[in-house]
Amino acid sequence: MSLKASASPPPRILIIDDEPDLRTLYELTLLREGYQVDAAGDLLQARAQLQEHRFDAVITDMRLPDGLGLELLRELGAQQRAERCVVITAYGSAENAVEALKAGAFDYLTKPVDLKQFRSVVASAIQGTKNGALPARAERSAPEAVKSAALPSSEASAALQKLVGESSAMRGVKSRIAKAAGSMAPILIQGESGTGKELVARALHACSHRGMGPFVAVNCSAIPENLLEAEFFGARKGAYTGAVQDRLGLFQMAKGGTLFLDEIGDLPLAMQSKLLRAIQERTVRPLGAPHEDAVDVRIVSATHKDLAAEVLAGVFRQDLYYRLNVIEIAVPPLRERREDLPALCNALLSKICQESGFSMPELTDPVMAQLGSRPFHGNVRELENILHRAVALGEGSTLHFDAPPEDYVAIPENLQDFLDQHERSILSRVLQETGFNRTAAAAKLGLSLRQIRYRIARLNIVTPGHDDAPDALDDPA
């Protein structure tokens, strides 16, 4: 869309490329869009231009005669300049693109540059700058970042307020969201099931310059493998049995917005390679289509799995992992932010009572103590289920909590850690009860002295007055 009819001064853009023909092509393309354009052929000229002027965006080639475009990118970051940078890389150089995004680039383009995509990326960068969106490299606190979000502050604040809690862990999450929202860099959200990863993704979208665009969420583990390609990339009429009309894929539906790939760790290997190409080339080919379609989406993914371990195990592509994990946001489990429990209970009860028409119950100290004693392996989702039952079964303003059934066993995320934790707890308690007499403790637990010594050493249990020699880790049998 041209800016020529605008009464305000046109955005000013600096183009840095050592190839005169390409530099001229980029200049003419942007001049036709109504921008004011300056050009430089190398880093020396670019630095001189940047000393004299302020720009709305900087577009630089990765490789220049006197250095790398990344050098300029880092210099702008160190100077806290507001210009958003777009880096142009050679075809297939995925590592350079990831490096540029990690260094703070707003976005990247690959050669040969598609001019339609070029115009779209520049427009996005300018839009974010004009609306005051926070550059990815700026170091600001969460409240400051919210004020400079691309959307009106009330909408950005509302999105962050849905992430209930003011613990240090949650303040860190909100701050990281605000800083990362201004970039096009892919984001990987890590966290256990039930911690609120989709809320984090929605907050990222709302705080970005794409907040007025669509937010499309998909659970990768819920789509049958034989339908994945059609769901992601779309399909033309007749492409497969039952395709009676053209259908849009998730990438097309998220155009101009954010595509949230939940449970990305469950995506089959065959589909991982196709997703990688779509992210790198920013094009998709619908099933049955003769040509590819350009796509403009911001990728945010989430998983409860350890993707680094999945890469080592050979079940997740390393190149896709590095492409998705440009910026990582770790969502803490509820057990690591128990100080947020009162605020979470108030927010969840308010929502539950509003939906069901019940009056708001009182959160007394005994109620909070009862809730605080639970392990919450299911995190906030488990807390919400507990409160739903407590409201439904309570009387008046009194909450009713069911005791967990005797045969109830919570499914742990890591079985070995779960077993070690309980074994350590039992051994420590029995050792204290016997005055750290290992012989008495072993007899009480039905173990031999050698077996209890082995367990004490393996679990790193400190016992006063004993020297746990390394050979205690020999086979206890």
| CA–CA gap between residue 257 and residue 475 (Å, rounded) | 57
| CA–CA gap between residue 268 and residue 250 (Å, rounded) | 17
pLDDT of 28:
93
pLDDT of 51:
92
pLDDT of 151:
42
pLDDT of 408:
52
pLDDT of 469:
42
Taken in order 391, 396, 397, 398, the sign of the CA dihedral is negative
pLDDT of 411:
66
What own/partner pairs with CB < 8 Å and gap ≥ 24 does 283-286 have?
284/232, 284/233, 284/234, 284/249, 284/251, 284/252, 285/233, 286/230, 286/233, 286/234, 286/235, 286/236, 286/239, 286/246, 286/249
Contact predicate 27/2, CB 8 Å: no
Of 137, 65, 134, 128, the residue nearest 100 (C-alpha) = 137
pLDDT of 429:
84
pLDDT of 130:
53
CA angle centred on 276, ends 270 and 280, rounded to 5°? 155
- DSSP 8-state assignment for residue 328: E
pLDDT of 129:
58
Per-run averaged pLDDT (10 residues), the chain, 477 residues:
61 93 92 92 92 92 90 88 87 71 84 86 76 40 38 67 91 90 89 93 90 92 91 88 85 94 94 91 88 90 91 89 91 92 92 85 84 86 90 76 59 77 85 88 90 88 60 47
Of 462, 454, 455, 463, the residue nearest 436 (C-alpha) = 463
* Phi/psi at 261 (5° precision): -100, 95
Amino acid in the structure at residue 211: G
pLDDT of 404:
58
How far is residue 82 CA from its own chain's centroid? 24
Half-sphere exposure of 122 (CA within 13 A, CB side): 32
- DSSP 8-state assignment for residue 225: G
| CA–CA gap between residue 17 and residue 26 (Å, rounded) | 9
Residue 45 tokens, joined:
């000229």
